[in-house]
Amino acid sequence: MSTVCSQKPRVLTGDTPTGQLHLGHYVGSVKRRLELQETHDCFFIIANMHAFTTRAQEPADIRRDCLEIVRDYLAMGIDPDRSTIFLQTEVPAISELTYLFAMLLPFNRVMRNPTLKDEIRDRGLGDRYSFGFPLYAVGQTADILAFRAHSVPVGQDQVPHIELTREVARRFNQLYCGVSDQAADADHVKLGGVFPLPVADVGPVGRLVGTDGKLKMSKSLNNAIFITDSPQVVKRKIAKIYTGRQSPTEPGDPNNALFQYVDTFIQDKDRVAELRDRYARGDNIGDGHIKPEVAEAVNALLAPMRRRRGLYEGDDDAILDILKAGCERANEVAEETLGMAKDAACLKFFDRELRYR
């Protein structure tokens, strides 16, 4: 197998095909990816196996959303010639590492993960979730470590997952690579560890609230503005953002959900300051005055994305070509990592080669 020789630091992040991408993805992760693809070796995973944790009964929809998310990536400016876009299920090393890593984490430690708890509550899963649902948190450690990534550009909700990943890396390096439990996190690889300890790279908008004004904007919570929404739909959804404010002369809270949109999407910062000031004083400015301005700003951001997305509409072959090239490149790195990990854990008996036809 060829050794992967890019000298740039590696980045891994991605999305679950539980639907299409929305503004939360853009401000929370994709915007940062666009900067990083200039300077880093970027891997973007479509976590389709993880989509089965909540959508196992909808396999055809998951498959469709994989392709749609790639279109969303291209629309937002991810360049497949510089970044590697791939499917989780086409990189078997990830599943193999998941199994191994599951042995390194106490069951109760996984179940204490606050993001899992939030998801169980927000999706109303009660105690009906599958065995595989919490396993996805372990799987995500394998997504990241299979690429020996140094950083992971994500929204705030993913920070507990990255912490779990750091714990797995620490434990593996200590158990199987002879790294001392006194070693500083940054020194693990220098001391012979297979896995660097990755850091979460959370940007200025780590949690964009949804149009319900309460919960995180999420594909699964029916509160999202999608990249594919038309200008009219964007306007309508923003008009629904609820703040509870009653009148234009009532002093408003410029830290509410609507103002997160003002701060995030209106580019003219003098205008933002003016809106904040008048809103806080209740200077005859209603939510209904501000929402059309926010919608205009969001539509200005989405217009070039809609145009670029149009180029790939209906052309599944072009998307599959991008994915196939991405999966080949992802397997080169992930197979190399798996080989190193199996070697360290006395699991390596033979060399193997993985190839698509």
Q: What angle do CA 32, 42, 96 make, to 5 degrees?
A: 120
Rank residues 209 and 323 by Cβ distance to ligand ATP and give the closer one.
209
Say which amino acid occupies 163: E
Q: Is the Cβ of residue 24 or residue 196 nearer to ligand ATP in the bound state?
A: 24
Which residue lies nearer to ligand ATP by CB, 140 or 331?
140
Shortest CB 352 distance to ligand ATP, Å: 31
Q: Closest distance between ligand ATP and the C-beta of residue 54, in Å?
A: 7
3-class SS at 15?
strand
Residues 6+ apart with CB under 8 A from 2: 332
Instruction: Pick the closer one to ligand ATP by CB: 198 or 206.
Output: 206
* Cβ at position 25, least distance to ligand ATP in Å: 4
Residue nearest to ligand ATP (CB): 28
Which one, 42 or 208, has the nearer CB to ligand ATP?
208
181 neighbors 174 (Cβ within 8 angstroms): yes
Q: Apex CA 200: angle with CA 198 and CA 202, to 5°?
A: 160
Identify which of residues 193 and 210 has a Cβ nearer to ligand ATP in the complex.
Answer: 210
In the complex, the smallest distance separating the C-beta of residue 24 from ligand ATP, rounded to whole angstroms, is 3
Smallest gap from Cβ 215 to ligand ATP, in A, equals: 9
Q: Which is nearer to ligand ATP, 15 or 293 (CB)?
A: 15
- 85 bridge partner residues: 44
Q: With CA atoms as reference, report the closest residue to 217 among 241, 235, 182.
A: 241
Strands of 178-268, DSSP E = 199-201
Write down the least CB distance from residue 268 to ligand ATP, Å.
23
Give the shortest CB-159-to-ligand ATP separation in angstroms: 9
> Where along the sequence are the contacts to ligand ATP (CB under 6 A)?
13, 15-16, 18, 24-25, 28-29, 154-155, 157-158, 206-208, 216-220
Give 116 or 179: the residue with its C-beta nearer to ligand ATP.
116
**Please, where are the H alpha helices in the chain?**
23-25, 31-39, 48-55, 59-76, 92-102, 107-111, 114-122, 132-145, 159-177, 231-239, 257-265, 269-281, 287-310, 316-344
Collect all residues with Cβ–Cβ distance below 8 Å to 13 and sequence separation of at least 6: 29, 33, 43, 44, 45, 152, 153, 154
Helix (H, G, I), strand (E, B) or coil at 152: strand
Question: Smallest gap, in angstroms, from Cβ of residue 44 to ligand ATP?
Answer: 10
Compute the least distance from the CB of residue 305 to ligand ATP, in Å.
16
What is the b/e burial string over 305-344, where b = at least 16 CB atoms within 10 angstroms of the residue's CB?
A: beeebeebeeeeebbeebbeebbbbbbbbbbbbbbebbeb
238: Cα within 13 Å, side-chain hemisphere: 28
Q: Which is nearer to ligand ATP, 95 or 220 (CB)?
A: 220
